[in-house]
Amino acid sequence: MSSKKPVLKEVPDVVVNIVTGATYKKGRFLGKGGFARCYELTDIKDQRFYAGKVVSKLLLLKNHQRDKMAQEIRIHRSLQHKHIVRMDGFFEDADNVYILLELCPRRSLMELHKRRKHVTEPEARYFTKQIVEACEYLHKIKSFIEI
């Protein structure tokens, strides 16, 4: 069994939801995780901005990988809380699955920490309160979410 990662295709500059016809222009790179790359995507028709989570289908070849992706989408689309990034939709093309997420204008706590190397005590209280509220919400609804 090889541990070599597949070479992923470049995300196209323009992506199209073939079901709805919506067209998105790829903007700046926002970051990457274990499976996904994230770009700013702009809906060409209405100029709305999204954080586009892009997962290559080369990373979804096994059943359990596809199941995990489907589960993430099912769970995330059911969440509605002011301190949890909103999912606005998803679609796929021949190469990728695209998840459209709320674009957070103030970026992330991680980016703030990288930029400034510390947060103040009032900032820590502010962020901790938001995180606790989001965790309470998730805990409260966990039995209602279809996993």
Question: Is residue 26 a known part of a binding site?
Answer: no
The terminus-to-terminus CA distance of the chain in angstroms comes to 30
Q: Which amino acid is at 81?
A: H
Q: What residues are designated binding site?
A: 53
Q: What residues are designated binding site for ATP?
A: 53
